[in-house]
Structure 1
């Protein structure tokens, strides 16, 4: 498979059930047992990946989602936030990559890079100074991916998963 086969399409409100499905599935695959307890992962998923919550996020003018599609199959997605939709108050003109996920069977096939490239395109269109994101400090593969793409760690912040306090490293890429 080459990256030209992957189509990036903006998620529309009528796609919200598909977004709930892929969001729930990819987050569970990445962070479910044995990495985190079933109770903690379910608590988080039932808060963040409900139809009501995803509808709210999709209708926020400062958030935008894109699906990665291979033929007609959704194989990944990204969520980008600007202005007051960002999960942290970061000084400067920026955009946040809040979520970038690829379905487990399609990982290692350059889809994450295609999604990341789309975030760069959006950031340049919005004329921001930098892109930033938070990534779990226990996820070295993701940290290495972002470092390969020029990101540098600049801070950290807490991330609560169910009853567990975790730490995300915050990384940024100057444009």
Structure 2
């Protein structure tokens, strides 16, 4: 098993869009209407949107490769790029997705550890994320990694309002 984590650049835009839409659809298509899922994918993962996110100095994307194939990705935010006002001492894990065929190989943990490493390098005190309240596997994974629920916020899948739990881990 050979895994590599690589920071994304503007030259990775097309591949980022492909992995973003594929992993999001794989994760949530069974629980959402095709109309709401497609509306979200078109809004969140169009090339212009992703290009702007990649250009933001307070956001970073990373691909994880398993045997030289892009298997998933991570997006982190600091400062004003965070989707909630959590302050300058916090780092947000906005997206962490692994393609279905590469799940249960420890890749999600590798990406989460990368987020922790960056947070420590930047002297952040907390790492936080939002996770859909119905995504029990992800909630259990984050709890196992030391995250606790500290709040919630609305997440819109098309016109369907859903609830994301805000989970936070204090760094030592």
TM-score (norm 1): 0.96
CA apart distance, 1:6: 1.1
- Within the candidate set 8, 13, 18, 1:11 is matched to 8
Name 1:65's counterpart in structure 2: 61
CA apart distance, 1:22: 0.1
Q: Report runs of 4+ in structure 1 exceeding 2 Å deviation.
A: none
Superposed CA RMSD in Å reads 0.8
CA apart distance, 1:91: 4.3
TM-score (norm 2): 0.97
Provide structure 2 residue ranges, at least 5 long, that are not aligned to the other structure.
none
2:152 is the alignment partner of 1:156 = yes
Distance 2:135 2:66 in 1: 26
Name 1:25's counterpart in structure 2: 22
- Within the candidate set 100, 103, 111, 1:107 is matched to 103
Name 1:77's counterpart in structure 2: 73
CA apart distance, 1:93: 0.8
Distance 2:146 2:59 in 1: 23
Instruction: Report if aligned partners of 1:8, 1:67 keep a CA contact under 8 Å in 2.
Output: yes
